[in-house]
């Protein structure tokens, strides 16, 4: 196990996997077996999506064999990541895995990414207020995390919108709004700051779930090829 941990820390994932294969073959009933399955699952995950089935199987074995709550919760987090990264409807499966992980995962990284991704997945499913509770913990407990700024940006959002442009001059944004309002896509503008500069974003639509927004994007992309989905605050109609 010492060798496998070292190899993994050196990003030598195939070698670490082979070392763990030998350990598991010899000590599958040992106390450390759960950690071995968890670590091998991480190796599979790092080695690419072609290994995702093996990773999932090992995360589940780690959960079933773990006597250490932290190892079990880390394995639940690993399952959450697998489903989150598949995107689409598979992300819904990540919610319960992430919730299970948070019941006992140590109060340090990777708890920050679990909190952030759980919030994102809840927003995708239209559970906006619950998502805020996880975002607030993320930026409240992990001031130095790479996920803090992302969590702050998503906090308080209530809908998905489609952004069709961002302009440095207000009159250009207003022209785009007028252009959009001549179609079935009613738009509005709002200011935002990016890289220290003020831009005027033109957006249309309000959608509760990511699925609804994605369907709308397919339609609008036919005439607005640079359109993309963003989170936003509800706009009064």
Statement to judge: residues 73 and 144 lie in one domain: yes
Average the pLDDT over each of 55-59, 94-98, 233-237 and give the range with the smallest value.
233-237
Angle, CA 230 vertex, CA 224 and CA 232 arms, to 5°: 125
Q: Could you give the CA distance from residue 224 to residue 205 in angstroms, rounded to a whole number?
A: 14
Give the CATH number for residue 173: 3.30.70.1070
Statement to judge: residues 174 and 218 lie in one domain: yes
* Cis, peptide link before residue 110, omega less than 30° from 0: yes
Query: Which pLDDT tens digit goes with each residue over 73-89?
Result: 999 999 999 999 998 88
Number of domains the chain is built from? 3
Last residue of a domain, one of 108, 126, 157: 157
Range of the domain at 49: 1-67
Q: Please report the pLDDT score of residue 182 as a whole number.
A: 94
Tell me what percent of the residues of the chain surpass a pLDDT of 70.
100
Q: What is the mean pLDDT of residues 48-68?
A: 95
Q: Which residues of 179-209 are buried (b: 16+ CB within 10 A; e: fewer)?
A: ebeeeebebbbeeeeeeeeebbbbbbbbbbe
Statement to judge: residues 74 and 37 lie in one domain: no
Q: Is residue 237 part of a domain?
A: no
Average the pLDDT over each of 8-17, 105-114, 123-132 and give the range with the smallest value.
105-114
Q: Please report the pLDDT score of residue 88 as a whole number.
A: 87
Give the CATH number for residue 77: 1.25.40
**pLDDT greater than 80 at residue 237:** no
Tell me what percent of the residues of the chain surpass a pLDDT of 90.
89
Q: What is the mean pLDDT of residues 149-158?
A: 96
Confidence bin at 92 (pLDDT 50/70/90): very high
Q: Could you give the CA distance from residue 221 to residue 191 in angstroms, rounded to a whole number?
A: 23
**pLDDT greater than 90 at residue 235:** no
Strand order of the β-sheet with 228-232 is: 187-194, 197-207, 159-167, 228-232
Q: Is residue 49 part of a domain?
A: yes
Last residue of a domain, one of 157, 188, 222: 157
Statement to judge: residues 76 and 152 lie in one domain: yes
Mean pLDDT computed over every residue of the chain: 95
Q: Please report the pLDDT score of residue 49 as a whole number.
A: 84
Confidence bin at 191 (pLDDT 50/70/90): very high
Statement to judge: residues 82 and 46 lie in one domain: no
């Amino acid at each position: 196990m010492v060798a496998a941990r070292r190899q993994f820390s050196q990003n030598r994932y195939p070698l670490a996997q082979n070392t763990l294969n030998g350990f598991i073959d010899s000590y599958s009933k040992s106390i450390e077996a759960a950690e071995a399955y968890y670590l091998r699952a991480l190796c599979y995950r790092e080695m690419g999506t072609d290994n995702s089935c093996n990773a999932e199987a090992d995360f589940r074995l780690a959960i079933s064999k773990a006597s250490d709550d932290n190892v079990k919760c880390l394995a639940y987090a690993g399952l959450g990541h697998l489903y989150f990264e598949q995107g689409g409807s598979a992300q819904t499966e990540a919610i319960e895995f992430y919730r299970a992980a948070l019941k006992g995962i140590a109060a340090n990284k990777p708890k920050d990414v679990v909190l952030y991704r759980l919030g994102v997945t809840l927003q995708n499913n239209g559970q906006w207020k619950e998502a805020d509770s996880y975002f607030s913990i993320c930026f409240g407990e992990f001031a130095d995390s790479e996920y803090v700024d992302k969590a702050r940006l998503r906090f308080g959002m209530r809908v998905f919108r489609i952004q069709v442009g961002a302009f440095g001059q207000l009159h250009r944004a207003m022209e785009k709004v007028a252009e959009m309002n001549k179609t079935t896509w009613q738009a509005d503008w709002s200011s935002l700051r990016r890289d220290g500069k003020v831009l005027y974003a033109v957006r249309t639509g309000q959608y509760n779930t990511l699925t609804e927004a994605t369907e709308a994007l397919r339609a609008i992309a036919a005439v607005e090829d640079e359109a993309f989905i963003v989170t936003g605050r509800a706009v009064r109609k």
